[in-house]
Amino acid sequence: MDHATILVVDDDKEIANAIEKLLTLEGYRVIKAYNGLEALDALVANNIQLILLDVMMPKLDGLSTTLKIREKKNIPIIILSAKSEDSDKILGLTMGADDYVTKPFNPQELVARVKSQLRRYMYLGDMRNSISSSQLIVGGLSLDRETKEFKVDGVPVKLTPTEFKIMELLMSNPGIVFSAEKIYEKVWQEEAYSVENTVMVHIRRIREKIEINPKEPKYLKVVWGIGYKIEKC
Amino acid sequence: MKNVSRNNKTKIIAFILAVIFITAVVLQIQYLVCTGREFESLFVEKYKDSNNFYFNHVLPARNKVMFLIENKEEIVQPPQDLEYYYYVSDGETVFTNVPEESRKLFDQYNQNLYDLENNNLILGENPEEGYLYHYADDKYTLFLAFPDEYLYSEQVDWENSRLTMMPYIAMMAACLVLALGLIVYLILVTGRKLGDDELHMGKIDKMYTEIQAFAFVSILGIWVSIGMDLFEHNSDLTYKLGLSQVYSLILYGIITVASITLMGLLFLSMVRKIKAKTFIKHSITYIIYFRIKDFLKSFFDGRRFERFPLTKALFYRQMVFIIVSGILVLLTFLFMLIPPLMFIPPVIEIAVIYWYVKYNNKTYEEINKGFDESLEEQMKSERMKVELITNVSHDLKTPLTSIISYIDLLSKEELSDTARDYVNILCEKSYRLKNIVSDLFDLAKSTSGDINLDMEKLDLKKLIEQTLGDMEDEIESSGLQIKTRLPEEPVYIISDGKKLYRVFQNLIDNALKYSLKGTRVYIELEEVDGKAVTTIKNVAGYEMDFTAEEILQRFTRGDKSRSTEGSGLGLSIAESFTKVCGGSFKLDIDGDLFKVTMKFKTER
C-alpha cells in the first residue's frame, strides 16, 4: 500500500503539483499528466493503482478518458471536478468513476478517499473471493452477522448494537428506503411513536463513523421527508 | 406607336391644330352671325313657325296694337299702312286696318280661336302661308294677321339663309370632330413621356386647382363676352362682311387663339392632376382642410407630446380630448342658431373620438410592447447575470483549489507559532471562501430557474424532524431550545427533499446563530386549507435595523454586526430554493421577532 503509484491528471499544473506533494507526504508514488491523452500514455507506461482525474481538460476531457480507461482497466478512478451539481456527479459515476470529489476539495478528505479506494482495490479484492454467508457487502462496507464485525474498506469500525442492527437492516436491502418508523419497529422491536429524531440521531452517528465526509455521505443517505437507505454500489 | 404618340412634337402639333380647329369653328360661327344668318332656319322649316318670326314680328306688332287700344284717347287715326292686318277691341272702341267684311272673319273666330292648332287662321287665298294671331283677355280682344305675300317673301329669305349656311355648317362639324379627336388624344397622352410609364407634371401643375379653375372660367367668360360684344348684327341680307367686321373677326381670331391656348393648357394641367390623383389634394381648400385636420390630429396621434413619456402623453391626450369635446358641445349649441353649420361640431367630435380611441389603443399597445420588452430585457439580464456568476464561480474554484491545497501543505511544514496562527487564519478563510462560492453558485442556479429538481411526494413533518435530528449537535451547543409544534399526521407535499433540507438547514442555522441567548426557537407546521404552513420564529440577539426586503436581497448582509461566518446567502438561498420547490416564502421582522413563513400545497 505504501508503494502504490497514483496518476494525477489535471491541466492546472499548480493543482497537480499540490496533489503530488500531498500524496507523496502520505508515501505514495505520483505520476502527473496534464490532459487525457497524456494520462492514457502514462497508464500504458506505468503500473498504476489509482487515478485522480480532472474533468475539464484540453484534448481529451476527464469523462472521455474515464470511458477509455474502463475499456481495459478496472483500477479506481476518482474524478476531481469544479462541477458540483448532482447531475454532474451522477454522470461521472455512471461513466465508471469510483468516486467524485468537487473542487475546491479538502486535502485531508481527498487523501482519505484515495486511501479508501486503494484499500478496496488492493485488499478487499481478495476478500471478495471468500465471502461467507454471514457477510453483507455493499461497496466498501462489510458487515458480519456472526462476528458482529463491521468494516469500511477493510478497516474495522466499532458500532453500537443498535447502530449495527440499523446497518444490518439497511445493508440487507441496499437501495431500499426505510422510514424511521419501520427502522424503529425492526431494530428496537417496539411500537414506533414519534421516533424520527431518535432514528435520525443514530443515522448521523453511524455516518460520522463510516463516511469520510459525513456532510456528503457516500453510503448512508437520508431521503429527506421519506426515510433512509444504503446506496447501492 | 408610343414613340410617335408620346413625342413632344406630336403633342405640340396636335395642340396647335386643336386650337386652330376650334378657332375656325368659332370664327365661322361669328362670320355667320355677322352676316345675319338665322341659325334657326337650320332647324325650323317654316318661317312662320320660327321664334325669329314670333319675337321679331308678332310680338312687336301685338305691342304696337295694344299700345293703340290702351292709349285710345290720344289716337286720332289708327295706322292703316302696315305689313299685317290687325283688329283690336276693348269692348267699346275698335281699331283695325281691315275692311268690314274681313273683320267679320276675326269676329268669327272670336270664340274658338284658342282651339285652333298653332293659332293659324286662314286669311286671304293661301291657307298655307297665312298667319293669324289672336290675343284675348277679360278686356281686350286682339287679332293679328300676316298676309300671304309678306310671309312668302320671308320664307324665301329663310330658306336662302339655310342653304347658304349649309357648307359652313358642314365645315364646322368637320373642324369640331377633328378638334374633339385631338383633344381626346391630348387628354390621353398628357403627362406621359417617351421611355417610361411615369406621369410627368409640368410647371403649370404647381398652380393650385382653384386658381386653375378660376383662371379657366375667367378666360372663358372674358372670351365669350368679347365674342358677344364685338360684333354688330348685320341686318342687310347680302351676306357680305363690312370692313369693320373683317377687322373685328381678325381681332377676335387672335383673342380666340390666345384664350383657347391658355384654356387648353389649364385644361390639360387639370387633366394631368386628375390622372395623378392630385386634383383635390393640390387645392387650397384641401390644404387648408388638411392643415386644420392635421393640427387637431397632432394632439391625438402623439406628435405634439412626443418628448413626453407614453403615460404622460396619454394624460395630455385625455386632457385635450376633454377640452375639445367640451368646446365642441358648446359650439353645437351655438351653431343651433345657424342650422347649416349645426352639423360641423358633431362631425368634428366624431373624428376626435375616432382619433382618441385609435391612438389611445396605439399608445396602449406601445406601452404593452415596452412592458414586454423591459420584462424580456430583465429576464435576459437575469440570465446573463446567472451565466456570469456560473462562469465566475467555476473560475474561482480552480485557484481556490490551489490555495486550499497549498495552505494544507504549508501547515504540514515546520512553522513558528506566529506563522502557524497565520496559516490557521488562511485555512479558515479559504474554507469560508469555498462556502461562499458554493452558495453563490447554488443561488445563481436556482434563481435562473436552470436547476435540476427531483420532485417527489414527501412528508414535510418528517423532513423537519430529520433536519432537527441531523442538526442536533449544533442545537445543543447553541444553548437554545427548539420548540416544535408539528401535527400528528404526516403532511405530504410534492417537492425536492434535498433542496428543502437545505432550506430548513439554512433557516435553523440562521436562527441558532442570531438568536438571543436563552430564548427559544419555534418551529411550527400545520395544514390550513390545503396548504402546509411552516413557521420558524426566533428572537434576535441584536437590533435588526433592516427590512425583510433588504435582508433577502442577494449578496446583502443586512447587519454589519453579524458574525463573519457563513456566506450571507443563507436566507437568499432558502427563499430561492423554497420558490423553485413550489412553495411561497415570507419573511417578517417585527421588533426583535424574526419570522419566516413558508407555504406548500399539500398532496392527498
pLDDT of residue B412: 87
CA distance A82 to chain B (A): 6
Give chain A's domain count.
2
Residues of A in contact with B489 (CB under 8 A): none
The answer to whether the CB atoms of A201 and B472 lie below 8 A apart is yes
**What letter represents residue B286's amino acid?**
Y
* A19 and A111 co-located in one domain: yes
Pairing of strands A155-156, B85-89: unpaired
Contact B394/A at CB under 8 A? yes
Give the nearest partner residue to B408 out of A22, A86, A200, using CB atoms: A22
| Domain region containing A180 | 131-230
Residue A131: pLDDT band with limits 50, 70, 90: low
Chain A interface disruption, residue of B470, B491, B581, most A CBs within 10 A: B470
Contact A85/B at CB under 8 A? yes
How many other CB atoms are found less than 10 A from the CB of residue B64?
15
Residue of B nearest to A104 (CA): B401
| Contact call for residues A85 and B441 (beta carbons, < 8 A) | no
Full DSSP string of B445-473: HHHHT------EEEEHHHHHHHHHHHTHH
CATH of the domain at A174: 1.10.10.10
Residues of A in contact with B431 (CB under 8 A): 106
How many other CB atoms are found less than 10 A from the CB of residue A163?
19
* Pick from B585, B596, B552: nearest CA to B443: B552
Cα R_g (chain A), whole angstroms: 19
Residue B128: pLDDT band with limits 50, 70, 90: very low
What dihedral do alpha carbons A37, A38, A44, A46 form, nearest 10°? -160
pLDDT digits (tens, 9 = 90+) for B512-523: 888 888 899 999
* A12 and A86 co-located in one domain: yes
The answer to whether the CB atoms of B472 and A204 lie below 8 A apart is yes
* Pick from B76, B78, B52, B77: nearest CA to B65: B78
* A97 and A149 co-located in one domain: no
Give the nearest partner residue to B462 out of A12, A15, A226, using CB atoms: A226
User: Is the pLDDT at B164 greater than 90, yes or no?
Assistant: no
The answer to whether the CB atoms of A224 and B400 lie below 8 A apart is no
Residue of A nearest to B459 (CA): A225
Residues of B in contact with A196 (CB under 8 A): 462, 465-466, 469
State the average pLDDT over residues B34-51.
Answer: 78
The answer to whether the CB atoms of A201 and B406 lie below 8 A apart is no
CA distance B397 to chain A (A): 6
pLDDT digits (tens, 9 = 90+) for B253-299: 898 999 999 999 999 899 888 888 888 888 888 999 899 888 888 88
User: Is the pLDDT at B122 greater than 50, yes or no?
Assistant: no
* A113 and A12 co-located in one domain: yes
In terms of Cβ atoms closer than 10 Å to its own Cβ (0-12, 13-18, 19+), residue B276 is middle
User: Is the pLDDT at B533 greater than 90, yes or no?
Assistant: yes
ipTM of the prediction greater than 0.90, yes or no? no
pLDDT of residue B238: 59
Cα B438 from chain centroid?
Answer: 61
Architecture of domain B284-451: Orthogonal Bundle (1.10)
C-alpha cell at B301: 396621434
Which one has a higher pLDDT value, B51 or B183?
B183
User: Is the pLDDT at B315 greater than 80, yes or no?
Assistant: yes
State the average pLDDT over residues B489-505.
Answer: 91
Residues of A in contact with B408 (CB under 8 A): 22, 107-108
Angle of the B148-189 helix axis to the B8-34 helix axis, nearest 10? 170
Q: What is the mean pLDDT of chain B?
A: 82
Which one has a higher pLDDT value, A15 or B106?
A15
Residue A6: pLDDT band with limits 50, 70, 90: very high
User: Is the pLDDT at B246 greater than 60, yes or no?
Assistant: yes
pLDDT of residue B478: 87
Which one has a higher pLDDT value, A20 or B385?
A20
Handedness of CA B39, B43, B45, B50 (dihedral sign): negative
Which 427-486 residues of chain B touch chain A by CB within 8 A?
Answer: 430-431, 434, 437-438, 441, 445, 452, 454, 456, 458-460, 462-463, 465-470, 472
* A115 and A9 co-located in one domain: yes
Last residue of a domain, one of A95, A126, A157: A126
Angstrom distance (rounded) from CA A223 to CA B366: 51
State the average pLDDT over residues B493-522.
Answer: 91
pLDDT of residue B598: 94
CATH of the domain at A26: 3.40.50.2300
User: Is the pLDDT at A54 greater than 60, yes or no?
Assistant: yes
Chain B interface disruption, residue of A26, A206, A224, most B CBs within 10 A: A224
Residues of A in contact with B462 (CB under 8 A): 179-180, 196, 225-227
Residues of B in contact with A225 (CB under 8 A): 458-460, 462-463, 466, 495, 497, 500
Contact A15/B at CB under 8 A? yes
Angstrom distance (rounded) from CA B522 to CA B511: 10
Give the percent of chain B with pLDDT over 70: 88
| Contact call for residues A19 and A54 (beta carbons, < 8 A) | no
User: What burial letters (b/e) apply to A118-153, b meaning 16+ CB within 10 Å?
Assistant: bbbbeebeeeeeeeeeebbbbbbbbbeeeeebbbbb
pLDDT digits (tens, 9 = 90+) for B548-582: 777 777 555 544 444 456 667 888 889 889 998 88
Residue of A nearest to B498 (CA): A224
CA distance B568 to chain A (A): 19
User: Is the pLDDT at B600 greater than 90, yes or no?
Assistant: yes
State the average pLDDT over residues B348-356.
Answer: 88
Which one has a higher pLDDT value, A149 or B562?
A149
Give the percent of chain B with pLDDT over 90: 21
State the average pLDDT over residues A74-93.
Answer: 87
How many other CB atoms are found less than 10 A from the CB of residue B201?
16
Report the range out of A45-49, B104-108, B449-453 with the highest average pLDDT. Answer: A45-49
Residues of A in contact with B466 (CB under 8 A): 180, 196, 200, 222, 224-225
Question: Residue B301 — φ and ψ, nearest 5°?
Answer: -85, 5
State the average pLDDT over residues B40-57.
Answer: 79
The answer to whether the CB atoms of A15 and B459 lie below 8 A apart is no
State the average pLDDT over residues A200-223.
Answer: 88
pLDDT digits (tens, 9 = 90+) for B61-82: 878 888 888 887 787 777 777 7
In terms of Cβ atoms closer than 10 Å to its own Cβ (0-12, 13-18, 19+), residue B346 is middle
Last residue of a domain, one of A107, A126, A145: A126
The answer to whether the CB atoms of B463 and A86 lie below 8 A apart is no
pLDDT of residue B115: 33
CA distance B490 to chain A (A): 10
* A139 and A117 co-located in one domain: no
* A90 and A148 co-located in one domain: no
Cα B497 from chain centroid?
Answer: 62
How many other CB atoms are found less than 10 A from the CB of residue B430?
18
The answer to whether the CB atoms of A224 and B498 lie below 8 A apart is yes
The DSSP letter of residue B94 is E
Chain A interface disruption, residue of B391, B407, B408, B451, most A CBs within 10 A: B408
* A169 and A71 co-located in one domain: no
Residues of A in contact with B465 (CB under 8 A): 180, 196-197, 200
pLDDT of residue B537: 93
The answer to whether the CB atoms of A225 and B466 lie below 8 A apart is yes
Residues 6+ apart with CB under 8 A from B220: B259, B263
Angstrom distance (rounded) from CA B65 to CA B137: 14
Give the nearest partner residue to A107 out of B397, B398, B404, using CB atoms: B404
What is the maximum span of chain A, computed from C-alpha positions, in angstroms? 61
State the average pLDDT over residues B393-407.
Answer: 88
Chain A interface disruption, residue of B390, B398, B442, most A CBs within 10 A: B398
Residue of A nearest to B494 (CA): A225
* A114 and A175 co-located in one domain: no
* A35 and A95 co-located in one domain: yes
Last residue of a domain, one of A93, A108, A126: A126
C-alpha cell at B417: 507559532
Residues of B in contact with A84 (CB under 8 A): 438, 441
Does an H or E element contain B136, and which? strand B131-136
Full DSSP string of A62-131: HHHHHHHHHHH----EEEEES--SHHHHHHHHHTT-SEEEESSPPHHHHHHHHHHHHHIIIIIHHHHHT-
What is the maximum span of chain B, computed from C-alpha positions, in angstroms? 176
User: Is the pLDDT at B370 greater than 80, yes or no?
Assistant: yes
Domain B452-601 falls under CATH 3.40.50.300: no
How many other CB atoms are found less than 10 A from the CB of residue B62?
18
CA distance B355 to chain A (A): 58
* A184 and A212 co-located in one domain: yes
Does an H or E element contain B390, and which? helix B344-411
**What letter represents residue B492's amino acid?**
Y
Question: Residue A151 — φ and ψ, nearest 5°?
Answer: -125, 140
Residue B215: pLDDT band with limits 50, 70, 90: very high
Give the nearest partner residue to A225 out of B430, B437, B500, using CB atoms: B500
Which 136-195 residues of chain B touch chain A by CB within 8 A?
Answer: none
B277: left (phi over 0), alpha (psi -120 to 50) or beta: left
Angstrom distance (rounded) from CA A207 to CA A141: 12
How many other CB atoms are found less than 10 A from the CB of residue B206?
10
State the average pLDDT over residues B315-329.
Answer: 89
* A35 and A83 co-located in one domain: yes
In sequence order, which ranges of B412-557 are alpha helices (DSSP H)? 417-448, 460-470, 472-478, 497-514, 548-552
CA distance A129 to chain B (A): 37
pLDDT of residue B204: 83
pLDDT of residue A141: 86
Contact A206/B at CB under 8 A? no
